[in-house]
Chain A
């Protein structure tokens, strides 16, 4: 679990379409969730009600405008990825959806129901679960207790603690250990398990790859198809753009709190993504720049 971050992928612009490093395990993700398993993600059904909708959301951190009129619609079964550089407002967006920040304007709706005034714990019981940035496990509790906390106010559904032990097969042997003793990747798995056992309708994943070795990140993203197979809808935030493009059925790029690009990964070009990510004005025509890594 402590692999050195060797083989760090090159800039995603080069990698997309050319490199297949790390693709193992992800092949099925978008297909299993959207395109393959039903018409949800196809253009025709986008007219139906979105499961999660964010309307014109503006959030301030003190004087700073962290999000500026952001809107998004996530339909059932989708994997919706928010990408963007540091400080673009990605995490703020997820935290506002989960209820940890109050917006100054705009609203958050789950299945047409307005959640904007609800506290985070009420949103959780309505079906929004979040794997927070930095994992945020209960360090003095054991693995099992962390999962039990996740299941305290669980909705009805397919996920149980035993089911989590099935998909992460190492976990049951270490269930009596405190999570503070686990490696980063193992902690991330427990954090995902803790969110799953609540049987959410929408799973928010905040920077799963943060602070983890690439191999570990691969392993965690490899679980996604299994998770999606139970009918979950995922909204994820990812700094690792190639990773996001690989798993997502839809992406939105943020830059300084504003939307700069929205669409299906197959419909956007690498140049468009780069332009949106860095905010380059005439970037569609700009040559790929070797020197600019995210």
Chain B
């Protein structure tokens, strides 16, 4: 029964990892940007939520209504300025620029906030309580909620990309941005929209993480970025549902690892990550040789 519980906990945690990963995957799939500041953006999302809750006294669970648009707007502006400027100078430059952005964000948080850990909604009963199935399985409402949110986000993203005008433009630009320009499409604007979506999802993930655990200025690169990368690579780069598969595999591996030995939790996750890289470098959900 312990194993069943581990698997269930792992699957639910995978929802959180998928939320972290889908923005990373989207930015890579559309503009070929490997965003090394992705984890730090989740942490910014957490801090923004903290500030918004302190100022407006909005319930934690509804803070996303304000935080997500703020982060999405920030994403659009950052893409149109800094990241686009880096892209114009080559793909490798974006790697250096987003790495630099990550360093700047961390140090700015240390400088202007503090190094303390924060978490969101510690007093909220929905966030801290759980329910039981049988005697062995305990499910936290929060984890279940995050998992449902992740699935809803992925479903809406998929619907948006496949059925809406802007989704179609995003896919066209991802295929061939020069050909899209010839059809009158300003790919920089489309990139901005994709970045806004990515930042919106990472803000959601940051809020979820803040309720699930605690964050400090360095959590972004210490934990979140690595989990997001692992989930994306396990699931398959550029695949939306791959991020959920990757997140779930990573989550389950971590839970089983911690069952074997408490200190093996992270190790188990990265071992699975490496095994997938060796055996199926294209990821679990994407087919090989997609040219």
Contact = CB atoms under 8 A, between A and B. Distances in A.
Given A148-B168, A149-B168, A149-B172, A137 B184 contact: no
B168 A150 contact: no
Contact of A152 (B169, B175, B176, B179): B169
Interface stretch (A43-51, A116-124, A166-174, A231-239): A116-124
Interface in A113-164: 119-121, 124-125, 129-130, 132, 136-141, 145-146, 148-150, 152-154
A138 B182 contact: no
A82 interface: no
Interface string B150-190: 00000000000000010011011011101111111111000
A198 interface: yes
A280 interface: no
A125 B169 CA distance: 16
B169 A120 contact: no
B172 A138 contact: yes
A141 B181 contact: no
A175 to B, nearest CB: 14
Contact of A121 (B174, B176, B181): B181
Interface residues of B, number: 18
Contacts of A98: 182
Contacts of A120: 178, 181-182
B168 A153 contact: no
Nearest to B290: A140
Contact of A100 (B165, B178, B183, B186): B178
B169 A138 contact: no
Nearest to A145: B168
A152 B185 CA distance: 8
A90 interface: no
Contacts of A121: 180-187
A137 B175 CA distance: 8
Nearest to B174: A140
Contact of B185 (A129, A132, A153, A195): A153
A173 B64 CA distance: 45
B184 A198 contact: yes
A198 B183 contact: yes
A198 B184 CA distance: 9
Nearest to A155: B184
Contacts of A194: 183
A118 to B, nearest CB: 11
Given A138-B171, A140-B171, A152 B182 contact: no
Contacts of B186: 119, 121
Contacts of B183: 121, 124, 129, 149-150, 152-153, 194, 198
Contacts of B184: 121, 124-125, 152-154, 198
A136 B176 contact: yes
A137 B148 CA distance: 37
A100 to B, nearest CB: 6
Nearest to A140: B175
A147 to B, nearest CB: 10
B217 to A, nearest CB: 39
A136 B181 contact: no
Nearest to B180: A149
Contacts of B182: 98, 100, 120-121, 124, 129-130, 132, 136, 195
A138 B170 CA distance: 11
A119 B187 CA distance: 11
Contacts of A145: 168, 171-172
A138 B179 contact: yes
B156 to A, nearest CB: 19
Interface in B180-210: 180-187
A149 to B, nearest CB: 5
Most chain B CB within 10 A, of A99, A145, A152, is at A152
A215 to B, nearest CB: 26
A149 B169 contact: yes
Contacts of B171: 138, 140-141, 145
Interface of B: 165, 168-169, 171-172, 174-176, 178-187
Given A153-B183, A153-B184, 7 more contacts: A100-B182, A136-B176, A138-B171, A141-B168, A149-B172, A149-B183, A154-B184
5 contacts: A100-B181, A137-B176, A141-B175, A145-B171, A154-B184
Task: Kindly list the 7 A-B residue pairs having the minimum CB-CB distance in the complex, ordered from nearest.
Answer: A153-B184, A124-B184, A120-B181, A136-B179, A138-B175, A138-B172, A125-B184
